[in-house]
Amino acid sequence: MSENLIGYIDDQGNILDTQSAEENCTATPIEYDNSDNALEIIRHSTAHLMAQAITELYPNSQFFVGPVVDEGFYYDFRVDEQIGENDLKTIEKKMKELIKKKYKIEKYEMTKEEALVKFANDDLKQKVMSRIEDDTLSIYKQGDFEDLCRGPHVPALRFLHNFKLTRVAGAYLGGDENAEMLTRIYGIAFADKEALKAHMTMLEEAKKRDHRKIGAEMNLFMFDEESGAGLPFWMPQGAKLRAKLEDILHKAHRVRGYEPVRGPEILKADMWRTSGHYACYGENMYLTNIDEQEYGIKPMNCIGHIQIFKQTQKSYRDLPVKYYEYGVVHRHEKSGVLHGLLRVREFTQDDAHIFCAPEQIAAEVIEVVEFVDSVMKLFGFDYTMEVSTKPEKAIGEDDVWELATQGLKDALNENNLPFTIDEGGGAFYGPKIDVKITDALGRKWQCGTIQVDFNLPERFGVEYVAEDNTRKQPVMIHRAILGSFERFIAILVEHYAGEFPFFLAPTQVIFVPISESHVDYAKALKKTLMLEGIDSEVYDKNDSLNKRIRTAEKQRVPYVVIIGDEEVQGNSVAIRNRRTREQYNLTQDEFMVELTQQLQEGKI
């Protein structure tokens, strides 16, 4: 057996650690490296190492769960003391001391009944076990520390040298806002120092690019806790940025045959009962009573588009019918997960629904994928696709789900488009393709989605007249390219660090007249640019020239244009190009040609 062996992948794609695999296991081995499977084992094990260190430092601590997540791992626990960021180094030091003791990580099993007795005095363990249906539970032990866990874990602590605890947070027990607040510590781990160092460098850069920080500096958006958590206000600069993004997509939709529509933001609760949202998503909806009837503020745009489709009789010749809407939706996100524009309670989806015949699914899905590709290339994103299958909480029959899921897979396979599978990750009404983009720092974000739905058309009695004059049910493809404008703008801010391409920048040019005699010329240029759809400002405040130039540059505007006597007399401009870091002079006409050419780069 290799000294670097830490686990196996079985035929079903499950990770087995060496403690769980049988002797002479023939499954695919997992070596100690920075592959995704190896990192899952390493990070899960490091979470337990952290818990062991916390136990030694704070003997009264009790532990809830400690999973691996996209950003590394965390553990939720109860402790009497207040633990802050300054305590993380102390915990890390204790973790390193424990590694030197060369503990093996051992696994043993017991019945659930035995475990309930063993942890009778630990209410957090009791809550964990209440969520487990298995009759046999596994426990992992290292030295004097042990915890309920399914694994997987490395064979010994000697594999866990390259880690960093990153932050402390509060977390409601089980995610329930009415439950007690536990302490949560996040961390990251890798197989070698180089990968850890690169990741920590990325985190430092991510702090500088934080969309909340840059958004405040550029006056893009704001939040007001008195008005309500998770409800963004768009400042003029942010509204201009958003309008540019909306306009790019609006034109792209129209040339692809989509028709604009708009549905109500509130509907009778019975509509949401029919759709299944009330049963499967009701806890995330805002409900109210009007004239003694219950209404629900929409969390999604599907029903409005269905009702519009049903308004007039459709023939097979009309299909596919494509509707799109920048639909404002509301979802009751828990306060603990709200995070700037990335997680809000009100947001706008670039939502579209395609009503088509079953035989048109593959062609429509591919057309949407091509649409996604053009948008991602415009902003310089690489992306991957993931097919998500039926979740536990779902509506519709298994055979319908299988048909829809296979339709997505076939469309991608027939066009040689690679994808992965997320078992159980679909929407409650249908399977989907999730588009996951990679930003300038190598971070992955889930954005767009393509969902095939046979269920909602059936529930609402959606029909079209087929070629043989019978009535048939269309397929409904739910589709969003960005996901939501709020989330996508947050990602764009961090991807570009606020240095937006010219066609997207909220303010594209700032004119800085040297003196009062140059202001009229600057304002005339501003008006000319506005007529061409270019946003500019004139900085003519009673400040020094250098201060006005510095203020302009802080706004990350692509062009800062200095106006003096020479420019006024020669109908020219003195340019500081922030994107190319060049300074040069152009005539007015040459300047307009340069700007209009850059506007064209925003077309898809």
Which of the residues are catalytic?
A: 302, 331, 349, 351, 353, 432, 478
The phi and psi torsions of 336 (rounded to 5 degrees) equal -70, -20
Residues pairing with 537 in the sheet: 510
Question: Residue 544 CB: number of other CB atoms within 10 A?
Answer: 9
Any residues with CB less than 8 A from the CB of 56 and at least 6 apart, and which? 94, 98
- The 3-state secondary structure of 308-377, one letter per residue: HHHCCCCEHHHCCEEEEEEEEEECCCCHHHCECCCECCEEEEEEEEEEECHHHHHHHHHHHHHHHHHHHH
What are the strands, taking DSSP E only, across 400-487?
A: 420-422, 432-438, 444-453, 464-465, 471-472, 475-480
Q: SS3 for 466? A: coil
Beta bridge partners of 138: 109
Identity (one letter) of the amino acid at 148?
Answer: L
For residue 136, the cross-strand partners are 111
Q: Which pair of tokens denotes residue 461? A: 């009695």
Distance CA 522, CA 513 (A): 7
456 phi/psi in degrees, rounded to 5: -65, -40
Q: Return the axis-axis angle of helices 588-600 and 519-531, rounded to nearest 10°.
A: 40
